[in-house]
Amino acid sequence: MKVIKESENSSNFLLFEEGRSIVASGPNSVGVTRDNGVFINGPVSFSSTIDSVKFAGTFRINPLAASGLPSTMVTPIPMFIIEPPLKGISGMASVASIFKSLM
C-alpha cells in the first residue's frame, strides 16, 4: 500500500494498493476498486449537454422531455431514448482482431 499526502496532518491524500485506489480531499473522495467499481462521495457536477449523458451505455435523456413540454396521455413523451453503442462496435472489432493475431 502506498499513501501520498501533502503533510502528515493533511486530509488530502492518494491511496494506492492492490485492487483499489482512492483520491480524497476531506470528506469528498473518489474510490475505484477492482471488485466493487467506482464510488463518488460528495457533491458531483457534470458539465455536459443533456443529450450527451448516457445511462448504462445505452439510454440517454430525451431532449424533447428535457425541453419542458408536458407528457400527456394524448401526446406521450418518453423520458429516455434507447441508443445502442454502435459506434464502439467497430473499435471492439479492431481490438478483437489484434488479440486474435497475438494468439
Q: How far is CA 6 from CA 36, 38, 64, 99, in A?
A: 28, 24, 47, 42
Mean pLDDT computed over 37-45? 91
My answer on whether 71 and 36 are in the same domain is: no
Number of compact structural domains in the chain = 2
My answer on whether 37 and 54 are in the same domain is: no
Q: Would you place residue 55 in the very low, low, confident or very high pLDDT band (cuts 50, 70, 90)? A: confident
My answer on whether 88 and 71 are in the same domain is: yes
What number of CA atoms fall less than 13 Å from residue 73's CA on the CB side?
0
My answer on whether 34 and 62 are in the same domain is: no
Rg (C-alpha) for the chain, rounded Å, is 21
My answer on whether 34 and 54 are in the same domain is: no
Contacts of 79 (CB under 8 A, 6+ apart): 61, 62, 65
Q: Is the pLDDT of residue 64 over 90?
A: no
User: Are residues 38 and 32 in contact, defined by beta-carbon separation less than 8 angstroms?
Assistant: yes
My answer on whether 90 and 64 are in the same domain is: yes
pTM > 0.75: no
My answer on whether 56 and 35 are in the same domain is: no
Which residue range forms the structural domain that includes residue 29? 2-41
